[in-house]
Chain A
Amino acid sequence: MGRAWVYGDNVDTDVIIPARHLTTFDVDVLAAHALEDLDPGFAAAVRPGDVVVAGSNFGCGSSREHAALALAGAGVAAVVAASFARIFFRNAINVGLAVLECPEAARGTSTGDEVEVDLDAGTVRNLSRGATWSTEPLPAIAQEIARAGGLVPWVRARLAAGP
């Protein structure tokens, strides 16, 4: 369970982690600058387990995986959005950041609400408002990768198993 940080539509990867910080992929450095150009107070105030809630097209723009890493590194438990840009969506699953598509949750949540996500059940609960929403299930292969803990362990297991 964590607090919701609510943002609007088209939160692009440039504001999630500006290019001036892309000379590293050290998660701690990236986390210290998460959402810097959208909400300069976020990185200092976010607590482990908090949830980012946003409108449509979250993570649009650059393919920089640093964006998903920055949010995960900052302790964000999940991103719930009305819709996601596809490269960010893949990156999040690949690095083990939970992503849930749920327009109702995006509309029905305000910053500071207590929110709980259950990736396996595909639900978002807003405890402050007493609401529970179901989300779109991931494609089977994405569920498999998410359950493995990301794409690195998933590929490692397949390579180890041999052809």
Chain B
Amino acid sequence: MSAIPQTITQKILAARAGRSEVSPGEVVVCRVDLAMANDVTAPAAVSAFRKMGAARVWDRERVALVASHFVPAKDIASASLMSTMRAFALEQDIAHFFDVGRGGIEHILLPEEALVLPGDVVIGADSHSCTYGALGCFSTGVGSTDLAAVLATGEIWLRVPETMKIVYRGAPGRWVMGKDLILAVIATIGDDGAAYMAMEHTGDTLAHLSMDSRLTLTNMAIEAGAKSGIIAPDGVTLAYVDARRRATGRAREPVVLRSDEGAAYARTVEVDASALEPMVARPSLPSRSVPVSEVEPVRVDQVFIGSCTNARIEDLRVAAEVLGEERIAPEVRAMVIPATARVWRQANEEGLLERFADAGASVSTPTCGACLGAHMGVLGPDEVCVSTSNRNYVGRMGDPSARVYLANPAVAMAAAVAGEIVHPSDVRAKEAVGARG
């Protein structure tokens, strides 16, 4: 028993540092449960790994390498990056290597694969590695050299973060999802409002949120500058984890921890989820989020429904629900990119992909591509995009003059149908007017 009440983040880091308790601000060395890199970050990590004089990764069962960013290879250079990662995976007999067609976007893939579990310390060479915290683990993003050090030693130094507690109250309204909750928080605290902190999401609203929506909440911790995002495991978490462990046959046990009564928080932020509208982040910062009804009229060139933020099955179902029997507006190109092979197959079985295609949307194979302006949906000069991804920075999705509005999949699909940013309910309203007229 700890003498001083601890947050869930302190408890996880203490356990992996071999300590009974740790305090915010101190530096600890933690054992890592899973290390992850992708096709952009792994090749540089492999190079650093070799320069460190390392011969073998510390534990082949605890490394995941995922082809996600420039896949399927967009050019010869990106094919070469993939070859480097593939060769390293073979050489080191990496247990969890996901090539094109068998994986997808890592942050949706690893929870599906039961490779990240409650109680873990997860280190990923991708900034959105904070996503896994929705399962009740500590998870953070690092660069390639930090990841190389983990591959070589199985350990990482971490400054124990202070925790910001976010308390959500009430049931979210129609078309309000995890995306809207986190955009509302970022609008309140700012783009570095949680800098260096753990964001712990709590409150009765969580009972209304699926695992998919929760993963969106923790996914965007980095857009508030946070080190990690976390949600203490509950029945929803454990049902998900058990189902995924059974489906994949992975037997590693979850460790369920919770924050103590009286644990110290650097700041507490309260959000009335029942009063929220769907949110839209105006260009070019996530903190410029406002309720959809307050967004100025803007014509839309492209709609992107995808990315590690919103390309899970719930996201595609919501998009299909908004779409109904409508068609994509003629002046809009809409792209739907399911996050993983599993999400793709499930959406296919449910008839969602066919519905999107019938409506005039492009449906593609899993890739991060468009989110970072890498390929498969790069924006040209002055174009406007509504995207379900996580960053609307200058040049993020293509030309620096392009403008990106971030939104949930309901708002994104509404924009695809209407040709402008509208409330998802207004798509149906127009339809009703049309039927009457």
8 Å CB interface, B67-110 against A: 69-70, 74-75, 77-78, 80-81
**Cβ–Cβ contact B53 & A65, under 8 A:** no
Does A94 sit at the interface, judged by CB under 8 A?
Answer: yes
A14 touching B393, Cβ below 8 Å: yes
Whether A63 pairs with B143 at a CB distance below 8 angstroms is yes
Q: Does A19 contact B (CB under 8 A)?
A: yes
State the Cβ distance, A98 to closest chain B Cβ, in Å. 16
Contact of A37 among B126, B141, B400 (CB under 8 A): B400
Closest B residue, CB atoms, query A67:
B143
Q: Chain B residues near A63: list those with CB within 8 A.
A: 41, 125-127, 129, 141-143
| Cβ distance B40 to chain A, nearest Cβ, rounded Å | 5
Give the nearest-CB partner of B126 in chain A.
A63
B269 to chain A minimum Cβ distance, whole angstroms, is: 18
A87 touches B145 (CB 8 A): no
Chain B residues near A87: list those with CB within 8 A: 127, 141-143, 222
Query: Given the complex, which residues of A lie within 8 Å of B78, measured CB to CB?
Result: 23
Given contacts A85-B195, A86-B195, contact A156 B394 (CB under 8 A): no
- Across the interface, which residues of A come within 8 angstroms of B144, CB to CB? 25, 65
B374 part of interface (Cβ distance < 8 Å)? yes
Chain A interface size band reads 35 or more
A82: min CB distance to chain B, Å: 10
Q: Of B142, B195, B374, B393, which contacts A83 at CB under 8 A?
A: B195
Q: Whole-angstrom distance between the alpha carbons of A23 and B375 in the complex?
A: 12
Task: Assess the A57–B145 pair: CB atoms within 8 A.
Answer: no
Whether A64 contacts B143 by the Cβ 8 Å rule is yes
Q: What A residues does B74 contact at CB under 8 A? A: 23
Q: Is A152 an interface residue (CB 8 A)?
A: yes
* Closest partner residue, chain B, to A13 (CB atom): B127
Q: Is A15 an interface residue (CB 8 A)?
A: yes
CB distance from B266 to the nearest CB of A (A): 15
CB within 8 Å for A61 and B145 given contacts A22-B374, A141-B27, A156-B53: no
Contact A64 B373 (CB under 8 A): no
Contact B395 A18 (CB under 8 A): yes
Confirm or deny: A90 has a beta carbon within 8 angstroms of a beta carbon on chain B: yes
Contacts of A20 in B (CB 8 A): 373-374
**B43 interface residue per 8 A CB criterion:** yes
Closest-CB distance, A150 to chain B (whole angstroms)? 7
- CB of B394 within 8 A of CB of A15, answer yes
Contact call A90/B391, Cβ cutoff below 8 A:
no
- As a 0/1 sequence over residues 15 to 45 of chain A, the CB contacts with chain B under 8 angstroms (1 = contact) are 1001110111100000000000110000000
In the assembled complex, which residues on chain B have CB atoms less than 8 Å from the CB atom of A60?
A: 191-192, 225
Q: Does A68 touch B at the CB level, under 8 Å?
A: yes
Question: Hey, what's the 0/1 contact readout for B104-138 against A, CB within 8 Å counting as 1?
Answer: 00000000000000000000011101000000000
A140 CB-CB contact with B under 8 Å? yes
Q: Which residues of B contact A37 (CB under 8 A)?
A: 394-395, 400
Residue of A nearest to B124 (CB): A63
Name A150's closest neighbour in chain B (CB-CB). Answer: B145
| Residue among B41, B75, B125 making CB contact with A23, cutoff 8 Å | B75
Q: How far is the CA of A55 from the CA of B41 in the complex (A)?
A: 27
The answer to whether A19 and B373 touch (CB under 8 A), given A10-B191, A24-B77, is: yes
Q: Do B374 and A140 touch across chains, with their CB atoms under 8 A apart?
A: no
B47 within 8 A of A: yes
Task: Please report the C-alpha to C-alpha distance between residue A91 and residue B143 in the assembled complex, in whole angstroms.
Answer: 6
| CB of B398, distance to nearest CB on chain A (Å) | 9
The reply to whether the CB of B177 lies closer than 8 angstroms to some CB of chain A is no
- Say if the beta carbon of A159 comes within 8 Å of chain B: yes
Among B53, B195, B227, point to the contact of A159 (Cβ < 8 A).
B53
The reply to whether B393 and A15 contact each other, CB–CB distance below 8 Å, is yes
The verdict on B252 contacting chain A, using a C-beta distance below 8 Å, is no
B395 partner, pick from A14, A24, A25, A140, beta carbons under 8 A: A14
Does A56 contact B192, Cβ atoms closer than 8 Å?
yes
Supposing A65-B44, A65-B144, A86-B195 touch, asked if A155 and B152 sit within 8 A by C-beta, the answer is yes
Alpha-carbon distance between A150 and B47 when the two chains are bound, in angstroms? 14
Instruction: Check if A86 sits within 8 Å of B196, measured CB to CB.
Output: yes
Shortest Cβ gap from B414 to chain A (Å): 27
Within 8 A of A (CB), among B272-318: 285
Closest to A152 in B: B51
Judged by a CB distance under 8 angstroms, whether B363 is at the interface is no
CB neighbours (8 Å) of A128 from chain B are none
B132 CB, nearest partner CB in chain A, Å: 14
The contact sample of 23 A-B pairs, CB cut-off 8 A, is: A12-B396, A14-B395, A15-B400, A18-B395, A20-B373, A20-B374, A22-B40, A22-B374, A23-B81, A25-B44, A57-B195, A60-B192, A61-B391, A62-B391, A90-B142, A91-B145, A91-B146, A139-B159, A141-B27, A151-B48, A152-B52, A152-B148, A159-B153
Query: Which residues of chain A have a CB within 8 Å of any CB of chain B?
Result: 10, 12, 14-15, 18-20, 22-25, 37-38, 56-57, 60-66, 68, 83, 85-87, 90-91, 94-95, 139-141, 150-152, 155-156, 158-160
Residues of B within 8 A of A (CB): 27, 40-41, 43-44, 47-48, 51-54, 69-70, 74-75, 77-78, 80-81, 125-127, 129, 141-146, 148-149, 152-153, 157, 159, 191-192, 195-196, 222, 225, 227, 285, 372-374, 391, 393-396, 400
Q: Which 3 A-B pairs have the closest CB atoms?
A: A23-B77, A65-B143, A37-B395
